[in-house]
Amino acid sequence: MSAYKKMLVSIDLTEEAPQVLEKAKAMSEAHGASLLLVHVVEPVGYAYGGDIPMDLTELQDQLDKAAREQLAAYGDTYGVDKAHQVVAVGRPESEVHRLVKEHEADLVIVGTHGRKGFQLLLGSTANGILHGTQCDVLAIRIH
């Protein structure tokens, strides 16, 4: 019996995502587990702190659409069905925690740059996911 049945892979859609996806795909095959491919788009208002007095809905919609298209391309490349691809809007840590519960994932796979010193004190998405999720977390070192 495998230790993991459902693996949630949280990626940031940068050129570094394939490093995480390659390892996640290998892990899922080794464990006979399914993959849930996740990307979280932060609300545009977070970036600007609400300082811009304008409707950012159209910009947010464009970001969401672009994220869905890019996630779908990764899904096609790594054999993850559209039903197992999720683009969420919110804080990455909170959304991953929510999706772990919602989809009953037993492993979260994320990429990390392995920062040290002052950068580590600032925190990271991977660290935020680790501290608060109810399942195992595997951090893939990005080179």
pLDDT in tens, the chain (143 residues): 568 999 999 999 999 999 999 999 999 999 999 999 999 999 886 555 555 566 788 888 999 999 999 999 999 999 999 999 999 999 999 999 999 999 999 999 999 876 555 444 445 788 889 888 889 999 998 88
pTM of the model: 0.86
- Domain coverage including residue 55: 21-90
Cα→Cα distances 13→33, 36, 40, 116, 142, Å: 22, 15, 10, 23, 13
| Same domain flag for 65 and 113 | no
Task: Decide if 2 is inside a domain.
Answer: no
| Same domain flag for 95 and 116 | yes
Last residue in a domain, options 69, 90, 111 = 90
Task: Decide if 44 is inside a domain.
Answer: yes
